[in-house]
Amino acid sequence: MKKIILTLLILSTNILANTFTTQNSVVKVFASISRPDYKYPYQTSKISKFTGSGAIIGDHRILTSAHVVSGARFIEIKKEDDAKRYIATVKYISHQSDLAILEVKDKDFFKDTHALKLSENIKTKDEVTVLGYPVGGNTISTTIGVISRIEYVSYVWSGSDLLAIQIDAAINSGNSGGAVVNAKNELVGIAMMKLGKTSNISYVVPAVIINTFLEDVKDGIVNGFHSGSVIVQEINNDSQKKLYGLEQRSGVIITYTGIDETLLKVDDILLEVDDKDIANNGTVKTKYGRVEFSMAFHVKQLSQSVKLKILRDKKELTLNYNLKKVAPLINKEFGKEPRYIIYGGLVFTPLTRNYLSSANSSSRGLHMLFYQKKKTVDYEEPVIITNTIFPNEVNRGYRLSSYILVKVNNKKIKDFQHLVSVLEDVTDEFTVFEFLEKRKVVLSTKEAKNSLTDIMNIYNLKSDRRLKWKSLK
């Protein structure tokens, strides 16, 4: 199986000679970003400098990629042919769609600039131009390409599946957030990511997703895109169709619903969404061709609903389905300092995708959790012990990896905050930790609590805990 690598477009090279007429609509973004270390959550975040691109749109707003400015402590922007840098701040950010809006306090910045108009009217084989500021030069760079596909992909920044435009323009890192325009100089998308180890396969956030984001923030709040807890399966086998009475119809079957789902049930067949037939492969007809039926959910706001026609027990039902945003059991955090608590020299933290990425862990238990565990009423957030131990007399003899915590003194741990409460209230002689990997750790409760001062002094720790998210925005 070939490994597919999608790369975010920060800091790379791309050189082209042309000067494009809308160069006064594109800016260079300079961001000083704080990137927390989830593997060592007690350490101070390091500051790194990145550059990207941005597109000027109406109402003195600058549109860019979320991954260009997420966690930014300081942002500057610069126009083409202008040596001055202007201070900018993040007004809104949608990690799901990898989009952000910057605002500039000094409105003189927008003098002699042109706000791009968005257009959702695209089709395959349309020619587009990408404008941005990749490394390899200081001036604006343009590349020309053709739209190859318009389909659902996994956005590498968030892991969310959303509509994207695939183009064959040779764009690279540094183009992130840059404008992708059509022959009329209309903004059809924002440069987002490229397919690694390939030649000229890149992806763009399309205007239809951008417009949904812009509509979302009109009330001053980023609510995000629909993200439910329903899993569906295609129905392509003749025996399947016969079993569910679909010989003359098409649709997909629901194979799983999470605890947050109250309307749909396992074995329901989704037949239509907003009066559009759902094919057996889960697609519907749109102006972009056949795309996943999820698009009907993703072009609406969370306050809205979609109309579903389903087959339940071979009877057709019509439902108004309210859109929602449900966090998965193992979530990815953005723009936050990680939570942790140190007890007896052991470090506990919530299991997030951030931790998995930073720790590169191959723990069998972590993978078991992915495939076997789901969010339940009494299990909302997995907690792990990290493979870092601050050696002390209280924890002598233990060699640990990243294990998933199940119980403390026979109490099932519901989430990270529950663990903190249990540790603060424990009065037993011993504190016994039980892990999914069939491991146990036993500490003297009195020694564990008394060791805190020594451990903090010896290892120069500023705190033994961070119990709430600290925003890096």
Give the pLDDT confidence of 84-99 residue by residue, as tens digits: 999 999 999 999 999 9
- Cα–Cα distance for residue pair 347/452, rounded to 1 Å: 12
**449, 428 contact by CB (below 8 A):** no
Is the Cα dihedral 18, 22, 23, 28 positive or negative?
A: negative
Q: Considering the candidates 53, 98, 158, 402, report the single residue annotated as catalytic.
A: 98
CA-to-CA dists, residue 88 to 60, 126, 153, 196, 365, angstroms: 12, 34, 31, 31, 44
pLDDT number for residue 356: 87
- Cα–Cα distance for residue pair 321/351, rounded to 1 Å: 31
- Cα–Cα distance for residue pair 242/244, rounded to 1 Å: 5
Q: What are phi and psi of 349, to 5 degrees?
A: -150, 155
Q: Considering the candidates 67, 95, 298, 418, report the single residue annotated as catalytic.
A: 67
- Cα–Cα distance for residue pair 37/112, rounded to 1 Å: 42
pLDDT in tens, 402-419: 899 999 999 999 999 999
Residue 67: active-site member: yes
Helix (H, G, I), strand (E, B) or coil at 365: helix
User: Strand ranges (DSSP E) for 299-345?
Assistant: 305-312, 315-322, 336-337, 340-343
Q: Which two tokens stand for residue 116?
A: 């791009």
What's the whole-number mean pLDDT along residues 127-144?
90
User: DSSP code of 464?
Assistant: S
What's the whole-number mean pLDDT along residues 326-344?
92
- Cα–Cα distance for residue pair 47/50, rounded to 1 Å: 10
Secondary structure tally for the chain: helices H, strands E: 9, 31
Beta-carbon count within 10 A of 78 CB: 19
Beta-carbon count within 10 A of 61 CB: 19
Residue 277: active-site member: no
**69, 54 contact by CB (below 8 A):** no
- Cα–Cα distance for residue pair 192/175, rounded to 1 Å: 8
The amino acid that residue 283 corresponds to is T
- Cα–Cα distance for residue pair 73/69, rounded to 1 Å: 9
Q: Considering the candidates 176, 202, 250, 402, report the single residue annotated as catalytic.
A: 176
Strand partners, 30: 51, 76
**172, 134 contact by CB (below 8 A):** yes
What is the residue-averaged pLDDT of the chain? 90
Least confident range from 53-67, 164-178, 397-411, 431-445: namely 164-178
pLDDT in tens, 286-317: 999 999 999 999 999 999 999 999 999 989 99
Q: Which two tokens stand for residue 193?
A: 């990511």
Length of the chain counted residue by residue? 473
pLDDT in tens, 107-117: 999 999 999 99
Residue 98: active-site member: yes
465-466 and 283-286 beta bridge pairing: unpaired
